[in-house]
């Protein structure tokens, strides 16, 4: 079986490799050929979660520690993160700002995988203050993180958005008035050219999940109502909504599924029971998503 043939990354067995020095928005140059045989990232491995205080990032963090991964939560405000995430023996907080390439070295040192779920609002808001608008958040930050990530990682999972390839069509044209989709697509392209084994997840409008602070246990009790079924597509052709719970689960599942490697998936939630945390159901969803 392909999965069995692949190297598994764990805390015990990962290759020690240091980060490449980061830099903001350098032109992307392929550094190694992407192959569909990257090491799988299994429980015990160390996963950096960027955006760990955010809606999707909190859920990714909770799901990973529940399954026995070591999570390094990359946060900008340690006190806020401690309030939001609480404490767990498998959870480590590291303070870094993706916009500041120099701050990323301790965050990425020795990680086996990265999940990037950083973001800001698509339209002007208080969250843009202090140079936190779409360009620094959706392009500069992720680009720095991609550049800083050790080439040895088994997966870089990048949460972007539905509509990145349809930014001229309605309703995406409205969402892209301040360039958020264009910038996210540029960051995706940088990842695709980086040589890192990647999975790009493009959720539709996000629903469910944490809007305020929770601890990790409370987070895991959330359910997506009667819309727990998931549609994955290998094209940017979905419309509607995506549960943060399903989006976070897809990010976690993508770490261990070769079917998710080096591909971009649109994700939407629909009425029905859905895959939950069942790895074989997710394998089928990823495998069947039309390219």
List of residues contacting ligand NAP (CB under 6 A): 50-51, 53-57, 76-77, 97-99, 117-120, 137, 141, 159, 161, 203, 205-206
Q: What does each C-alpha distance from 46 to 16, 49, 61, 178, 255 come to in angstroms?
A: 12, 10, 11, 35, 11
The least distance separating ligand NAP from the CB of residue 54, rounded to whole angstroms, comes to 2
Of 2 and 189, nearer to ligand NAP (C-beta) is 189
Of 77 and 278, nearer to ligand NAP (C-beta) is 77
Of 15 and 263, nearer to ligand NAP (C-beta) is 263
The least distance separating ligand NAP from the CB of residue 26, rounded to whole angstroms, comes to 18
Of 43 and 55, nearer to ligand NAP (C-beta) is 55
Please list, in sequence order, all residues whose beta carbon lies within 8 angstroms of the beta carbon of residue 239, skipping any fewer than 6 positions away: 162, 204, 268
The least distance separating ligand NAP from the CB of residue 99, rounded to whole angstroms, comes to 4
Calculate the CA 202 to chain-centre distance: 10
DSSP state of 2: H
Q: What is the dihedral of CA 188, 110, 247, 272, to 10 degrees?
A: 130
How far is it, in rounded angstroms, from Cα 158 to Cα 161?
Answer: 10
For 117-186, give the DSSP string: -----SS--GGGTTT-SHIIIIIIHHHHHHHHS-TT-SEEEEE--TTTT-TTSTTHHHHTTTSHHHHHHH
Of 39 and 52, nearer to ligand NAP (C-beta) is 52
Q: Give the CB-nearest residue to ligand NAP.
A: 54
The least distance separating ligand NAP from the CB of residue 236, rounded to whole angstroms, comes to 12
The least distance separating ligand NAP from the CB of residue 98, rounded to whole angstroms, comes to 4
């Amino acid at each position: 079986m392909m999965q069995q043939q692949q190297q598994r990354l764990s805390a015990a067995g990962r290759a020690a490799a240091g980060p490449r020095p980061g830099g903001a928005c350098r032109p992307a140059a392929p550094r190694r050929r992407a192959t569909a045989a990257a090491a799988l990232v299994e429980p015990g491995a160390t996963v950096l979660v960027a955006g760990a205080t955010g809606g999707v990032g909190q859920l990714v963090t909770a799901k990973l520690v529940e399954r026995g991964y070591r999570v390094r939560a990359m946060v900008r405000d340690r006190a806020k993160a401690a309030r939001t995430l609480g404490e767990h023996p498998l959870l480590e907080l590291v303070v870094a700002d993706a916009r500041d390439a120099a701050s990323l070295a301790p965050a990425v040192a020795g990680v086996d995988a990265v999940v990037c779920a950083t973001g800001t609002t698509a339209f002007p808001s208080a969250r843009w203050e202090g140079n936190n608008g779409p360009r620094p958040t959706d392009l500069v930050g992720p680009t720095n993180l991609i550049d800083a990530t050790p080439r040895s990682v088994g997966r870089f999972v990048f949460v972007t958005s539905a509509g990145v390839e349809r930014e001229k069509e309605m309703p995406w044209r409205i969402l892209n008035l301040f360039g958020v989709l264009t910038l996210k697509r540029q960051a995706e392209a940088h990842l695709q050219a980086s040589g890192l084994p990647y999975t790009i997840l493009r959720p539709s409008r996000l629903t469910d999940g944490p809007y305020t602070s929770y601890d990790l246990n409370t987070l895991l009790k959330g359910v997506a109502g009667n819309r727990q079924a998931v549609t994955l597509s290998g094209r940017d052709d979905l419309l509607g909504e995506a549960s943060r719970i399903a989006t976070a689960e897809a990010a976690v599942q993508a770490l261990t599924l070769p079917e998710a490697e080096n591909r971009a998936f649109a994700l939407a939630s629909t009425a029905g029971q859905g895959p939950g945390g069942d790895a074989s159901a997710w394998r089928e969803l990823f495998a069947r998503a039309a390219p």
